[in-house]
Amino acid sequence: MMEKSPTTLASAVGPPSNWIMRWTHLLPASTTVLDIACGRGRHMKWFAQEGHMVTGVDRSAEAITTAKKFGPAICADIESNPWPLRQHNRPQQFGAVIVTNYLWRPLFPTIIQSLAPGGILIYETFSHGNETVGKPSNPDFLLRPAELLSVFRDLQLIAFEEGFLQNPPRFVQRIAAVRPDAKPAGTQPLRRQALDAQHSR
């Protein structure tokens, strides 16, 4: 797959994460995508431009106003209220679920349940160590060592990275995984690696 430059996407909503872009090729054409804590829709825009059908959810009404330009976007407090995307009394399922820069541990089961069989999870957020370089610094919002590997252990792992990125300085943990029952064509064997300044993305 030809790598796309984020330059044309870097408007008011900001550029997409390189981790998200790196694994977008795993999604079959016209995949339904759920962007949790979508903000103003930077990743909704990316997936819509890639031809996918993307839905976002965020608690900020102001952010949702912008996100709606790229697909259905729901304003909901997913930490205090029931999960808003339900079908037949259970979480609605999507071909892909993405999460970036957001951590609310009680939501982990819902994330898994929102993945259709063969669905792709792409997750990236701050991890332990970030308190030494900036915000967030509250451990409630920082992943513990290899926590994503533990939480999503029942998924088929594609890639996992953990460590320091320098631009901007931050500690992150990120995973790409598939819900069992199907494995996308072209997936690679397990990759687990540490990050340092040389791996900045």
Name the pLDDT band for 193 (thresholds 50, 70, 90): low
pTM given for the model: 0.85
- Say if residue 77's pLDDT is above 50: yes
Q: Please state the domain extents for the chain.
A: 15-199
pLDDT at 199 over 50: no
Of residues 6 and 87, which shows the higher confidence score?
87
Take residue 92 and report the two structure tokens written for it: 């609605």
Average pLDDT, the chain: 88
Using DSSP's 3-state secondary structure scheme, residue 158 falls into strand
β-bridge partners, 56: 35, 73
Cβ 177 vs Cβ 154: under 8 Å: no
* Structural fold of domain 15-199: Rossmann fold (3.40.50)
Region 40-69: mean pLDDT is 97
Report the Cα–Cα distance between both ends of the chain, in Å, rounded: 18
Q: Please write the tens of the pLDDT for every residue from 27-50.
A: 999 999 999 999 999 999 999 999
Alpha helices in 61-146 (DSSP H): 61-67, 108-113
The encoded tokens of residue 121 equal: 């999870």
Residue 72's pLDDT band, with cuts at 50, 70 and 90, is very high
pLDDT category at 9 given cuts 50, 70, 90 is very low
Residue 62, pLDDT > 70, answer yes
